[in-house]
Structure 1
């Protein structure tokens, strides 16, 4: 409470001081306003005492009030206090100069010493004002181009020369000393200085400089009136000139304390109108020199004119120097420093010009864009060092340049990627150029004492077939280059078939929709039942991801999984599949259907060492046991990540999750790779099972694999069983499980529940019928006695799945189930 009270007390005192300060400033302004009105009115009122009263008493009070007003202005920064001191001194000197001269006139004193003192005080006034202007110009102004400085010199010298010439001519015309016209000349000089500063440097103009400009304008106006009075023979200030002087010092007094906040003054671009100003000043000086040849002019005017012309010559020399420097900088900005070829910016500029020139004529433009990427450059760079890599790039750049025509445009876009634009070139000539480039690049290069060879993968795009603008050509050439680097040749001409799904506009839209679908959980799961071939029972469900696209309908994994893999969406999609699959499995188990669900693991999931712990937590949250979950891993991905994959699979095995190898047999398969891994099942690929009825060699291989798996204690699952003949052969070979359209096609979650419910009802009916049949047989036996017939002693087992087996609905070939 005490602290708050003290704070409120300080705030109240500060508020009272601020109010008192405002009252004092208003009183001082009222004194100055009274003096202005009185001085102006003295022109109309010819009272005998008016001249002495206004010239001495009122002006003295007004100048004193202006000085006090300036002292009351608050300045926080050191530069602001320096500006304030300069202006206070200027106001005092100006007031003393005018009051002293008026006092001498009123008292009829000798004017010569008074005039000398007045001129000295006026000169000191101008020095103080000049110092204040310089201090204000320096604040926030940093880099000053040399041409701007010369512009200021030309304008300043030109203005002073012209004013001095006018003053000298007027002095001769009116038989007055030239010093009579010096104040207007200096006023013009200072105004020119401020105008040049605001014209070339300040944006927006500073209010303090505007106030000083207004003050100088008023002083110049009053000086011109005083000069006219002197010409007419009067040595006194008129009332109008006195009023103008008082307004001027008031504007000066209000200058301190303004524009003291953080401010960065930015350079303005010099327009044509601003560039003409120094030229006009120089031309006026030449006119002054020509006039001086016909009249006897003070030599000072000639010296000032020569200085102006020298400043103009210096400006032109500086302009030429800066233009040359700007040209060099523009060249460097478009040149690759390492190879001296064009960089990306330079290539874009020149290529865009060439393409636009081609498109402007009536004939069909033909240009070829080649995009070359060095092969194995990273290996050279990493093994031999960056210096060797830089030397290789310089050598490659030189060889590319030597292999091309003078009109061809070549650039290094970055890293080890080069772009070449061939004007007037079609595909038939672009391909030989790509061959020539590779032949040149394949010559050995000595790097760090070693002879190394490199080559390049080149993508080719032709205008206008593959695009009319540079961006489209670059994109298509990049697609072709990527395909060539994948092993489809050293060079490749772009075709629309080479587009990856994400490299087209439509593909980019599909990718954005896929991101949204994953983020909002819009992907769905269908389930492929897995049946025991010995009993016909459903022993599991494989979760298969689907996407209900808003425009394309139901999309299968083959239509969007490449986008998922290439755009770092696999982790998010796996998490979504885990969540939905475990939710559905928990629903089945809550209804009494103890059917495990199998989930496919895609990269980078198998490399996640925390996967076993995360799955354990997820199963615990859903109320499921580990036996309710199976994971399937593709053979190819497992072999590519064998060490880390073994660690993850061991964790899943200890957890009790079933582990299966998916798509076995679609590549270079070997069970030897899996003898040290905790594998529970091998899923035989559909390509291996489909030809078993037609190809005896394929049947022999399949039978051998099943026998070997049985010996290793690994269960086998046949995928893609489409006919009863294949099912019969697999059953005869001893295959454990099967799945395919012969049994069930993939089911939605709702259809899966329906199938499980129907099977459960059929099983209940079967058990009930079996029980009733047993009772009836017992009754018959009791009636028949020992001679009864043993009817029903060996009844075949009931197969509810066979009774509920559905026909496979239409399925498009080539699509993953």
Structure 2
């Protein structure tokens, strides 16, 4: 076996691995000699017996080392099993005359008692191993071992009394197969708990115990038939295989597995079988004369079974009580949140499509009661209200306290009318005052109703809709509100998830497209730039505009991804235009949060290099509120962008805070006057004055001025008179896809007044 292969199989220090390998080689040699017949007689047989004994002592030492070696988990099972093997080895030495072998009670010799000690130690080892593999191993399982021992002993006495004369006095002859039978049952239970896919250590231990059982069975059969001979190799092969398998189990490399709960049948199967065995023994003793020891042992086993039954009943009662407490509100005695959710789920499974109403309600101004009279008085109020409400709900309804002053009610088979009617009943139950700390306190409740219609809904969804209705009811305290199934919030939630899928590149969720609105030079009519405006082609809703798209992207935390997608496509299109011989500036809007992304300047620089664009042809538009928070970081980002040669434009100027310090500190290249001033400047003298003064200030600072929202020729004329540089608006073109933007011809402007 190679070192790599050994390391995959064994979890042992190198010296131990070497000894395990030597042990395997030794047993292979022993089996070869046994099968070939070279060690069946004379001195060779005695030497082979000594060699086999030596191998068993080495194996015992390896397993005890596993149990005693510090720093390793799961030591207790192997310490117990190694102790049993040590006793078994001592019995073997005693049977060879190397240790004293006196006769004990019942004609059993010391060697036989040592051999039998292997079985209780194996049982303890298996129980300890099960404790590591099974969640909440019942304490009664240990009592099963006592029942097993008493039942096996009773059957042993019974079989010993029936055995041939040559076997009388050999109590171990009867005990060995019965003890082995119990080990077989134990192995089956362990394998079943592992879904018949036991990990390597458990599998090897189980196979080792089965090999031991098969060897004992063959030994017993040959002994009873008078044909047993030490020269027969097969039992020795099985005993040797059992030892090797157990050593490998002790040092096998563990695999991480989930701890499983113990199945109910696994807890009951063993005690039921053993109780039947003990009862059968008593029946046989009743119809025939049997040794008193047999009757006493069987009766003791039955007594232990009764004790175990009492303990099992206690455990069941304790479990039922704990389950009830886990689903009951401690203060009011009503169902709690867990019980309510389970009831809604159970209703959806048991009566699909039957519908149900969910009511969510809480006490208005409950915080005032707590703050003024104390939390203990607040608890008294909740108890009183819970009692009143419990008296007026139908028998098939479930009333629950979800926490704090929040209550919920499930009304199966109800619709909107029934739900609202019950909500009114719950509110009227609070008309009489509640005596609290000597004060008659009047309280009211706001009730929200949601109805399950069509396909069943999850408890969280029903409660969510009822919660929306309850907060609508709080607009006028002490009312009942109904929440429709198709609400605006739910639609926005679904739309947000769809946008998230689009930004992640998922198929079938729609795609982002850019439309471009031209910017014209007011003196020449030539298109000198375009503003990139994002649209979302939704698979069912059609084209979603920026007024809805941009806030939604920010709400789901994907505003950064949206900005990067727009920048990537806008600069890619600018590159295509420039390669075609056109040189428009491309303006892209940035959200305030975009300036706080540390790698924004590097990302813009990489796009400019990729598309071979002069930075002067990129204009980044920012709004004045971009500097309300994190002013220092925002200014740092703008300085880095300006260092690239990118133009900075202040968008919607005049609609925000319009601080002159922004014009000083930001050092923009462009000022974009908000459409609210531009649209009616031809008819509003105040707006005309604001626009004229803004243009004059911008020109004095060396800034280009862009007027957006130009829709009439009168507005265009007023802007020309004021000296505006660039204009954009529906008068010239609506935002259109890139293929529809004509950059080759000048636009015919209105004549100057």
Q: Matched residues in 2 for 1:220 and 1:619: separation?
A: 81
Question: 5 Å matches for 1:182-221?
Answer: 182-201=171-190, 203=194, 204=198, 206-221=203-218
| Residue in 1 that maps onto 2:49 | 63
Within the alignment, does 1:124 sit opposite 2:114 as a pair?
A: yes
Within the alignment, does 1:574 sit opposite 2:556 as a pair?
A: no
- Residues 1:728 and 1:469: Cα distance change in structure 2 (over 3 Å): same
| Residue in 1 that maps onto 2:484 | 494
Of 669, 689, 706, 1:707 maps to 689
Tell me the CA shift for residue 368 of structure 1: 1.3
Q: The residue matched to 1:77 in structure 2 has which SS?
A: helix
- Residues 1:544 and 1:477: Cα distance change in structure 2 (over 3 Å): same
Question: 5 Å matches for 1:265-664?
Answer: 269-270=262-263, 272=265, 275-293=268-286, 295-335=288-328, 342-359=335-352, 365-371=354-360, 399=385, 402-403=388-389, 405=393, 407-411=396-400, 419-431=408-420, 460-464=449-453, 467-470=455-458, 473-474=461-462, 477=465, 480-481=468-469, 484=472, 491-496=481-486, 498-504=488-494, 508-509=497-498, 511-516=500-505, 523-531=512-520, 536=525, 538=527, 540-548=529-537, 555-558=544-547, 560-581=549-570, 596-605=585-594, 608=596, 624=614, 629=619, 631-633=621-623, 642-644=628-630, 648=634, 652=638, 657-661=648-652, 664=655
- Residues 1:192 and 1:307: Cα distance change in structure 2 (over 3 Å): farther
Tell me the CA shift for residue 210 of structure 1: 3.9
- Residues 1:454 and 1:721: Cα distance change in structure 2 (over 3 Å): farther
Contact 1:93 1:124 in 2 (8 A): yes
Contact 2:358 2:463 in 1 (8 A): no
Q: Matched residues in 1 for 2:110 and 2:720: separation?
A: 123
Q: The residue matched to 1:496 in structure 2 has which SS?
A: coil
Contact 1:158 1:281 in 2 (8 A): yes
Q: Matched residues in 1 for 2:80 and 2:103: separation?
A: 32
Tell me the CA shift for residue 308 of structure 1: 0.6
Contact 2:212 2:242 in 1 (8 A): yes
- Residues 1:800 and 1:128: Cα distance change in structure 2 (over 3 Å): closer
| Residue in 2 that maps onto 1:789 | none
Tell me the CA shift for residue 704 of structure 1: 0.9
Q: The residue matched to 1:516 in structure 2 has which SS?
A: coil
Contact 2:189 2:266 in 1 (8 A): no
TM-score by length of 2: 0.70
Of 157, 164, 173, 2:150 maps to 157
**Number of positions where the alignment pairs a residue of Structure 1 with one of Structure 2:** 683
- Deviation sequence 1:43-101 (CA, Å, 0-9, x none): xxxxxxxxxxx7x877645532421332454725246688567546635634753889x
- Residues 1:186 and 1:690: Cα distance change in structure 2 (over 3 Å): same
Tell me the CA shift for residue 431 of structure 1: 3.8
- Deviation sequence 1:192-217 (CA, Å, 0-9, x none): 44134324345445434544444444
Q: Matched residues in 2 for 1:486 and 1:649: separation?
A: 44
Contact 1:367 1:462 in 2 (8 A): yes
Q: The residue matched to 1:528 in structure 2 has which SS?
A: strand
Question: 5 Å matches for 1:18-29?
Answer: 25-29=27-31
The unaligned stretches of length 5 or more in structure 2 are 1-14, 69-77, 665-669, 699-704
- Deviation sequence 1:31-50 (CA, Å, 0-9, x none): 43466996xxxxxxxxxxxx
Q: Matched residues in 2 for 1:269 and 1:214: separation?
A: 26
- Residues 1:295 and 1:477: Cα distance change in structure 2 (over 3 Å): same
309-318 vs 577-586, greater mean Cα deviation: 577-586
Q: The residue matched to 2:411 in structure 1 has which SS?
A: strand
Of 141, 145, 159, 1:166 maps to 159
Contact 2:503 2:562 in 1 (8 A): no
Contact 1:282 1:308 in 2 (8 A): yes
| Residue in 1 that maps onto 2:248 | 258
Instruction: Please report the RMSD computed on the Cα atoms of aligned residues, expressed in angstroms.
Output: 5.8
Contact 1:408 1:420 in 2 (8 A): yes
Q: Matched residues in 2 for 1:411 and 1:195: separation?
A: 50
- Deviation sequence 1:651-683 (CA, Å, 0-9, x none): 85995733132694xxxx8x7x64654397464
TM-score by length of 1: 0.66
- Residues 1:153 and 1:96: Cα distance change in structure 2 (over 3 Å): closer
Tell me the CA shift for residue 570 of structure 1: 1.2
| Residue in 1 that maps onto 2:667 | none
Of 720, 741, 745, 1:758 maps to 745
Q: The residue matched to 1:370 in structure 2 has which SS?
A: strand
| Bigger CA radius of gyration | 1
- Residues 1:747 and 1:419: Cα distance change in structure 2 (over 3 Å): same
Q: Matched residues in 1 for 2:504 and 2:151: separation?
A: 69
Q: The residue matched to 2:314 in structure 1 has which SS?
A: helix
Contact 1:536 1:801 in 2 (8 A): yes
Q: Matched residues in 2 for 1:440 and 1:631: separation?
A: 60
Question: 5 Å matches for 1:679-758?
Answer: 681=671, 683-685=673-675, 699=683, 702-711=684-693, 713=696, 719-724=708-713, 727=716, 738-752=727-741, 754-755=742-743, 757-758=744-745
Tell me the CA shift for residue 259 of structure 1: 0.4
Q: The residue matched to 2:290 in structure 1 has which SS?
A: coil
Tell me the CA shift for residue 428 of structure 1: 3.0
- Residues 1:85 and 1:313: Cα distance change in structure 2 (over 3 Å): closer
| Residue in 2 that maps onto 1:678 | 663
Q: The residue matched to 1:678 in structure 2 has which SS?
A: helix
- Deviation sequence 1:716-770 (CA, Å, 0-9, x none): 8664444446656777898876432222222444544x32x323xxxxxxxxxxx
- Deviation sequence 1:341-366 (CA, Å, 0-9, x none): 5455422221123344544xxxx845
- Residues 1:117 and 1:190: Cα distance change in structure 2 (over 3 Å): closer
Tell me the CA shift for residue 526 of structure 1: 2.5
Q: Matched residues in 1 for 2:17 and 2:327: separation?
A: 61
- Residues 1:528 and 1:500: Cα distance change in structure 2 (over 3 Å): farther
